[in-house]
Amino acid sequence: MAIHAEKDTTSAGANVAHPLAPLTSAEIMEAAGILRSQRQLGARVRFETIVLKEPEKAQVRNFSPGNPIPREAFLVILDCEAEATFEATVSLDEGKVTSWKHVPGVQPRIMFEEFVECEATVQASPEFQAALEKRGITDPDLIMVDSWSAGYYGFADEEGRRLAIARCFLRTGPNDNGYARPVEGLSVVVDLNKMEVLRIDDYGVVPLPPNPGNYAAEFVKEFRQDLKPLEITQPEGPSFTVDGYAVKWQKWHLRVGFTPREGLVLHDIGYEDQGRVRPVMYRAALSDMVVPYGEPGKDHYRKNAFDAGEYGIGSLTNSLTLGCDCLGEIYYFDAHLNTGGGEAFTIPNAVCMHEEDYGILWKHTDWRTGHVEVRRSRRLVVSSVATVGNYEYGFFWYFYQDGTIQMEIKLTGIINTAGIEDGEIPKYGTLVAPGLNAHIHQHFFNFRLDMDVDGEGNTVYEVNTVAEPPGPDNPHANAFYAEATPLKSELSAQRVVDPMKGRYWVVSNPSVKNALGRPVGYKLMPGENVLPFADPTASIMRRAGFMAKHLWVTPYTPGETSATGPYPNQHPGGAGLPEYTKNDRSVDNTDLVLWYTLGYHHVPRPEDWPISPVSYCGFSLKPVGFFDTNPVLDVPPSAHHNGACHA
């Protein structure tokens, strides 16, 4: 069963119940219209971003239902004619532009319309058609064009231009897996402002791979016959309640948001304890991500995709389907976004929310008495899935009854492919099918976690487990203990994971003590992780400097919202976290932000072709002394066919 969020309003500002409620479709259209009229925008402009300008924290914290809600929109405009970028703020209450500024030397993210126009431009190019004919391809309409940001390499003919690198694949029909037949050695550099081919880089003809690599249901000759139905039912409905974008579930309180760059955003996360909601995080979202590839040859060294900052992963979010993407009693939130022309569009079912059984919550059997106590765990799932070219990324926030928060990323889709000469064994990739090479690569995600552990005055501690040297204090050489070290400034708080030391980080509030007299806290528990293999001198390391550290900590500062800075597209580097932290500000007992970098290392396998089974990675936030005792003693026993789950 599916339940929908409240439908979008028909007039700007109508029925907006909270200062953090995302812009409605009407508000998006109104903001674009006000800006277009009052700034007399020309015909060749693109609206890269139209989002809610989030109010200051104090305004949100002091808000009570019934208070007036000022509504402002933040916009980013690309003037293709002037080849210039502008930022604007529009007051929807006053119906006027309140700020307008030129941002020199930057490129906004590539917009969906540009992907479509770029493909048509490449297909229509006579030079490109001639290059295809060299390869025996006579119909350019069969070519699938994937546009990648050009990155930054200091090439003179690329300076100051808005560019994309078009990589090409051959399809034989509308449902054909184009990635099975890369047109290897041919890439097209396109000026997106002028929408014309700047040059064609032809590295030589490589034979097309022979196998189709199709995976859609229509191509599967026989399906498994031994799967029986599996039904998930909640006869009395789900345990959560929803009011607009506000969610309550099992003592958790949170708000759902969405932006075209970040995708799913969570606000105001707190846990109800002893009659009050105790804050944990003010805001949590993907900050940016990058996928660096390890192949140095031809144009493959330029494959470094910033899927949030360059492409807007939120705007590429899927409409989720009951029974396929989500199973059970589902509540959906739609996402209202803008086109490059300033029109509003809606992604139905962009965010899925449901409950899941998660096995045993806790259990003990007293073998002396035979008495058994067991409780089943349940978690709330808030998720979205985006398709960025060949890859799918699922972002799943899990909330557990014991106060744990987990972020799990599910990676699937189609691996990026390249052609290879018959008989060649790839050094920087894996042969996944005849003539088909899948390059080694990594996925780096950075999550911005605006912590608020029982208030704004927080300090981060790094905890390592230390072995006590043998001696008078350790006569049997068995002792070890957890050692906590405060990270008091931005530079000292740039850290990497170390599983050999059991390393984790605790966000502590020194002003709030639990019943044992200790500061309350939450710990960030790393999961699978890795560091980049690119050399520090590589362009991608300058542009995505956040990859070098797994943990960064900054004092909360408005405007510091992305690990790569506001405009990573074709940026030469140094922006974002390296720039934010260069002054080594204090992060001791203050309103602070954790930035966690998660790296997934992918050496492709033949089993990843033609479509990859889901891989998983993530991290957790777990209470450490946040509660006085186990917070889930009050979870009731479950019923089963012989009675309750205890004896």
Query: Residues 143-184: pLDDT tens digits?
Result: 999 999 999 999 999 999 999 999 999 998 888 999 999 999
Supply the pLDDT for residue 647.
56
Count CB atoms within 10 A of the CB of residue 586. Answer: 11
Supply the pLDDT for residue 611.
98
300 is written with which tokens? 């493959």
Binned at pLDDT 50, 70 and 90, residue 638 comes out as confident
Supply the pLDDT for residue 165.
98
Tell me which residue of 427, 618, 601, 456 sits closest to 531, measured CA to CA: 601
Does residue 592 sit in helix, strand or coil? strand
Supply the pLDDT for residue 175.
87
Binned at pLDDT 50, 70 and 90, residue 642 comes out as low
DSSP state of 401: T
Catalytically active residues are 307, 391
pLDDT in tens, 87-105: 999 999 999 999 999 999 9
Per-residue pLDDT, averaged over 228-254, amounts to 96
Measure the CA–CA gap between 392 and 386, rounded to whole angstroms: 6
Per-residue pLDDT, averaged over 104-109, amounts to 98
What architecture does CATH give domain 112-219?
Roll (3.10)
Side-by-side strand order, sheet with 45-52: 45-52, 72-79, 84-91, 96-102
Binned at pLDDT 50, 70 and 90, residue 300 comes out as very high
Q: With 80 as the cut, is the pLDDT of residue 641 above it?
A: no
Q: With 80 as the cut, is the pLDDT of residue 14 above it?
A: no
Per-residue pLDDT, averaged over 520-531, amounts to 98
Q: With 80 as the cut, is the pLDDT of residue 15 above it?
A: no
pLDDT in tens, 539-548: 999 999 999 9
Measure the CA–CA gap between 341 and 373, rounded to whole angstroms: 60
Q: With 70 as the cut, is the pLDDT of residue 13 above it?
A: no
Per-residue pLDDT, averaged over 377-388, amounts to 98
Measure the CA–CA gap between 329 and 202, rounded to whole angstroms: 53
Of the chain, the percentage scoring pLDDT greater than 90 comes to 94
Supply the pLDDT for residue 173.
85
CATH of domain 2-102: 3.10.450.40
Supply the pLDDT for residue 16.
83
Whole-model pTM: value is 0.97
Q: With 70 as the cut, is the pLDDT of residue 64 above it?
A: yes
User: CB-side exposure of 274: number of CA atoms within 13 Å?
Assistant: 8
Measure the CA–CA gap between 546 and 551, rounded to whole angstroms: 9
Q: Are 75 and 39 in contact (CB under 8 A)?
A: no
Contacts 24+ apart (CB under 8 A), 611-615: 611/215, 611/412, 611/413, 611/414, 612/411, 612/412, 612/413, 612/414, 612/415, 613/412, 614/394, 614/410, 614/411, 614/412, 615/410, 615/411, 615/412
| Domain map (residue ranges) of the chain | 2-102, 112-219, 241-644
Supply the pLDDT for residue 9.
45
Binned at pLDDT 50, 70 and 90, residue 643 comes out as low
Per-residue pLDDT, averaged over 137-145, amounts to 96
Taken as a whole, the chain contains a residue count of 647
CATH topology of 2-102 equal to that of 112-219?
yes
Supply the pLDDT for residue 504.
98
For CA atoms 638, 639, 642, 643, give the dihedral sign.
Answer: positive
Supply the pLDDT for residue 406.
98
Supply the pLDDT for residue 10.
42
Class (C level, CATH) for 241-644: mainly beta
Q: What average pLDDT does the chain have?
A: 95
pLDDT in tens, 218-234: 999 999 999 999 999 99
Q: Please state the three-class secondary structure of 7-46 as a single string.
A: CCCCCCCCCCCCCCCCCCHHHHHHHHHHHHHHCCCCCCEE
* DSSP codes, 297-345: STTGGG-EE-TTTTT-GGGGBPPP-BTTTB-SSEEEEEEEEE-TTS-EE
Supply the pLDDT for residue 645.
66
Q: With 70 as the cut, is the pLDDT of residue 442 above it?
A: yes
Contacts 24+ apart (CB under 8 A), 5-9: 5/242, 5/244, 5/245, 5/331, 5/332, 5/333, 5/334, 6/244, 7/334, 8/334, 8/336, 8/346
Tell me which residue of 13, 111, 639, 101 sits closest to 375, measured CA to CA: 639
